[in-house]
Amino acid sequence: MPREIEFREALREAMSQCMRDDPRVFLMGEEVAEYNGAYKVSKGMLDEFGPRRVIDTPISENGFAGLGIGAAMMGLRPIIEFMSWSFSLVAADQILNNAPKMLYMSGGQFGCPIVFRGNNGAGGQLGSTHSWCVESLYANVPGVKIVLPTTPYEAKGLLRTAILDPDPVFFLESERMLGMKGDVPEEPYEVPFGKARIVREGTDCTIVSFGRPVHFCIEAAETLEKDGIDCEVLDGRSVRPLDIDAIVKSVRKTNYCVVVDQAWPFASISSEIASQVHKRCFDDLDNHVHRVNADDVPAPYAYNLEQEMLPNARKIVEAVRSATYQA
């Protein structure tokens, strides 16, 4: 039966259930053990699984990411926590040049069933160098799967799917959502990659997003409904693989599309979706695809400037009105 738990608890439950089921699964990262996790995601896991399976590391992302990749090549199933995905840039050679290519370069001899997870994106006044949205940067690399959970239910199911997956998975959480509560079944379950979720059905405009901005899309849709504009909101769940078929199906119904992406606009996920929708829905669209991204500037530290830089419900409302010629 579902019960209401926090996003961080859903993540912990997914990891713990997988670790109970499979002794090959282990968690490694900075402060995951003795400190119970920088954001308390791994609270209590050291007590249950011990220091051989919940492992504190030095501040050396390149080192422990590489260790995890080697362990995965030898048959284990590591979960590597980056305190922030901004810090993953230190390990770029390991996570982008080794993990995604290992199966291909070894001729199928060595897979890499590893999960890299942690906090992604701005919103917590952490400054420019700690506020990266890495999905646009990393999605360019073949061989990786990239997942952005939106709710506690999605977080648990998607993380279990990630841990069981035979390929490298980048699991992008949001520190701003860790305290969010939602209904989550106690028993193990999986949520598939590459299958978008219709959060809200509508007929007048399709709004597509991933991760935290999905909640801004819902807020915008509720505002627009008061003006008689009925929006369909899609939670893409994963950007690699991308459920373009679900997006196309929705756009062919509504004839308008707005893509909301928390990353910068140039060479972004929203750019790719817009390109594919224009190609596949050219005769269905009554206007070009509109995009709402973070502003093309480094993330400010000041709270008011940071909030203005990010996608928000007001910007989405304006984009939908512009797309549907009701600005």
Alpha carbon distance 163, 62 (integer Å):
21
Same domain for 307 and 208:
yes
Residues 292-319 pLDDT 10s: 999 999 999 999 999 999 999 999 999 9
**In terms of domains, do 178 and 238 share one?**
no
- Pair (235, 294) in one structural domain: yes
- Of 185, 219, 236, the position where a domain reaches its end is 185
CATH code of the domain containing 289: 3.40.50.920
Using the predicted structure, report yes or no on whether residue 2 has a pLDDT greater than 80: no
Is 191 within a domain? no
Express each pLDDT in 155-177 by its tens digit.
999 999 999 999 999 999 999 99
pLDDT tens digits, 84-139:
999 999 999 999 999 999 999 999 999 999 999 999 998 788 999 999 999 999 99
State residue 1's pLDDT score: 66
Q: Where in the sequence numbering do the catalytic residues fall? A: 61, 130
- The whole-number pLDDT of residue 245 equals 98
Residues 275-292: b if buried by 16+ CB within 10 A, e if exposed = eebeebbeeebeeebbbb
pTM, two decimal places:
0.96
Q: Are residues 234 and 126 in the same domain?
A: no
**Would you say residue 84 lies in a domain?**
yes
Please name the residue ranges forming H helices in 117-268.
135-138, 152-164, 213-225, 244-254
CA–CA–CA angle 9, 15, 16 (5° rounding): 85
Q: Say how far apart CA 269 and CA 203 lie, in whole Å.
A: 24
pLDDT in tens, 9-48: 999 999 999 999 999 999 999 999 999 999 999 999 999 9
Total domain count, the chain:
2
pLDDT digits (tens, 9 = 90+) for 184-223: 999 999 999 999 999 999 999 999 999 999 999 999 999 9
The residues that bridge with 257 in the sheet, in sequence order, are 206
Average pLDDT, the chain: 96
